[in-house]
């Protein structure tokens, strides 16, 4: 499936570098086992909602830096995620409000609160339990992911992407 124009911009949450490294190692092990390029397509983000432009729409809630805890791996519509649970009580309602304010559907990312690991996952096995990761909680910050699909084929091939801080 090619990247729909309506999903070029994704409001997401990004962890710090040490957590990105830990999750990227899981993605690399998955890539080595399955040779699926989607495990290398984009950085470990928590997709929240699609946007029609790189600007947040009026009334979009400002999410403060939030701490999340990894809980379990899950597969939704053949997409593998590391699910997380926000540690601050208000964070979950802010994320829900952000999803409601998002202007676009996210056909590339099922509605799972978790780090995107890879698409079209058919592996019968799950990665090692999240307790094997070298972090138990992580702060995440708001970002806007811009995805440009530069060639035909699955959406996760031929990508150019960038992450911008939400201002």
Domains of the chain by start residue, with CATH: 5-165 (3.90.1140.10)
Burial class of residue 128, CB neighbours in 10 A (0-12, 13-18, 19+): exposed
Tell me what pLDDT residue 1 has.
Answer: 43
Q: For strand 138-149 and strand 114-118, is the pairing parallel, antiparallel, or unpaired?
A: unpaired
Tens digits of per-residue pLDDT, 46-105?
888 888 888 888 878 777 777 888 888 888 888 888 888 876 665 666 677 777 776 555
Among candidate residues 5, 3, 2, 1, the one with its CA nearest the CA of residue 103: 5
Task: Name the token pair of 126.
Answer: 């799950």
Report the mean per-residue pLDDT for the chain: 79
Contact 54, 10 (CB under 8 A): no
Prediction pTM value: 0.82
d(CA 89, CA 94): 9
């Amino acid at each position: 499936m090619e990247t729909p124009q309506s999903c070029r911009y994704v409001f997401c949450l990004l962890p710090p570098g040490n957590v990105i490294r830990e999750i990227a190692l899981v993605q690399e092990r998955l890539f080595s086992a399955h040779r699926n390029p989607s495990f290398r397509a984009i950085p470990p983000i928590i997709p929240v909602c699609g946007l029609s432009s790189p600007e947040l729409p009026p009334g979009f809630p400002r999410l403060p830096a939030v701490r999340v805890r990894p809980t379990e791996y899950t597969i939704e519509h053949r997409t593998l995620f590391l699910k997380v649970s926000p540690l601050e009580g208000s964070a979950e309602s802010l994320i829900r409000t952000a999803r409601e304010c998002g202007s676009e559907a996210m056909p590339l990312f099922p509605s799972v609160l978790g780090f995107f690991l890879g698409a079209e996952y058919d592996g019968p096995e799950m990665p090692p339990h999240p307790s094997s990761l070298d972090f138990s909680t992580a702060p995440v910050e708001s970002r806007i992911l811009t995805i440009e699909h530069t060639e035909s084929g699955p959406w996760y091939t031929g990508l150019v992407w960038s992450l911008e801080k939400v201002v």
